[in-house]
Amino acid sequence: MKGLRTLMLNGGTAVLIALLTWAIGVDWTAYVSPTVGMLILAAANFGLRFITNSAVGSSTPAPAG
């Protein structure tokens, strides 16, 4: 996965959550607290960095070494 795609996935997640809240009135606090939500997002970002082979915001792989 490329660093640019990682940013797009994170941005898309933020937009999707806001869109669902606005469009259908999902109350996210009924399912997860803000603190737990941040921990989930942080863990997802941590995992994505392990499968990304380029720098954040870049589409070319990082040099080996």
What are the pLDDT digits (tens) for 5-62? 777 877 888 888 888 888 888 887 888 888 888 888 888 878 877 777 777 666 677 6
- Angstrom CA distances, 6 to 20, 49, 65, stand at 21, 8, 22
d(CA 55, CA 4) in angstroms, rounded, equals 8
Is residue 65 over pLDDT 60?
A: no
**pLDDT for 58:** 67
H helix runs in the chain, sequence order: 3-24, 34-51
Q: Where are the domains of the chain?
A: 3-51
